Amino acid sequence: MKNLIREDIDWVAVKEEFKNAAPFNHVAIDNFFLPEVAEQLSNEFPDYDDPALGVHNNPVENKKVLNKWDKFPKLTYQAFTYLGREEFVDRMRNLLDDYRLWLDVGLNGGGWHLHSRGGNNNVHLDYNIHPKLGEQRKLNIIIYLTPNWDPSWGGGLELWTHDDNVNQPKEMVKLVDNVYNRAVIFDTTQNSWHGLPKYITCPEGVVRKSLAAYYVRPAPEGAINRGKALFAPREEQKNDPEVAEVIRKRSGTDTASEFHIGAK
């Protein structure tokens, strides 16, 4: 399979930025895929109303998803395969100085993510222990694939500090704008609160498109056994018992499926 990303990425500089970033280790790489690859990947996304997409629509998230390999068009299939190839995984291992790392090929929680007008994703911590593998999710890579996105529409990734006293996000300190063909890589094990809590205001018919893949490693002793994402309420949702109940159920491995409408 041919190379899909640009060959002049300065991985030494990428690692330096990743290691020194706040509020947790992260880095953005612009012009990640080769131009013709990014264009075709963007074009391979389905329409937002495609019945093949799964739906998350509740008080803490509004998006559509698909992670079924047999539904991916050819280049999308190749892109996810490439992200799991040793030559690329070695880049991710080097960021962490940890060679016990590999792609979750099942794309649990990953794959295609789509947000339309009014879409959002409350600030949250990702699952920590993979519900089927028992391994720790360590690293996310998300690649934005909507051309000509206007930052005024929102859709940027907010990164928040952690409040140890209440185990909740404390302050938004970084916004990573939704820039076409930008890859965002971040460590998910550092109380890594992130999300897009503000409603997206893009025009009808425009969709925020992203590819998401996750890397796992053996779970360290004493790792928090969080098998689903833990969401935080938006400011106007605080002290709302109904939202609190949604968050409780959405974070439970036995109850989270109540908030996912499966693809047809």
Tell me whether residue 254 is in a domain. no
pLDDT score for 261: 82
CATH of the domain at 132: 2.60.120.620
- What are the CA-CA distances from residue 88 to residues 43, 126, 137, 139 (Å)? 24, 23, 17, 13
Tell me whether residue 240 is in a domain. no
Q: What is the pLDDT of residues 129-168, one digit of tens each?
A: 999 999 999 999 999 999 999 999 999 999 999 999 999 9
Q: Is the dihedral of CA 28, 31, 34, 40 positive or negative?
A: positive
- Total domains, the chain: 1
What residues have CB less than 8 Å from 134, skipping those under 6 apart? 219
Tell me whether residue 181 is in a domain. yes
pLDDT score for 263: 57
Tell me whether residue 257 is in a domain. no
Tell me whether residue 67 is in a domain. yes
Give the type of residue at 177: D
Total number of residues shown for the chain: 264
Instruction: Compute φ and ψ for 11, nearest 5 degrees.
Output: -70, -25
Longest dimension (CA), the chain: 52
Determine the structural domain holding residue 62 and report its residue range: 11-224
pLDDT score for 136: 97
What is the C-alpha separation between 215 and 141, in angstroms, rounded? Answer: 8
pTM of the model: 0.96
What residues have CB less than 8 Å from 186, skipping those under 6 apart? 24, 25, 26, 27, 139, 140, 159, 192, 194
- What are the CA-CA distances from residue 35 to residues 11, 113, 115, 141, 214 (Å)? 19, 20, 23, 18, 23
Tell me what percent of the residues of the chain surpass a pLDDT of 70: 99
SS3 state of residue 212:
strand
What residues have CB less than 8 Å from 189, skipping those under 6 apart? 128, 136, 137, 138
Tell me whether residue 74 is in a domain. yes
Tell me whether residue 89 is in a domain. yes
Tell me whether residue 139 is in a domain. yes
- Per-residue burial over 185-200, b = 16 or more CB atoms within 10 Å of its CB, e = otherwise: bbbbbebbbbbbbeeb
Q: Which residues of the chain have pLDDT under 50?
A: 264
pLDDT score for 10: 98
pLDDT score for 245: 96
Q: Is the dihedral of CA 94, 100, 104, 110 positive or negative?
A: negative
What residues have CB less than 8 Å from 64, skipping those under 6 apart? 48, 53, 54, 55, 56, 113, 114, 115, 116
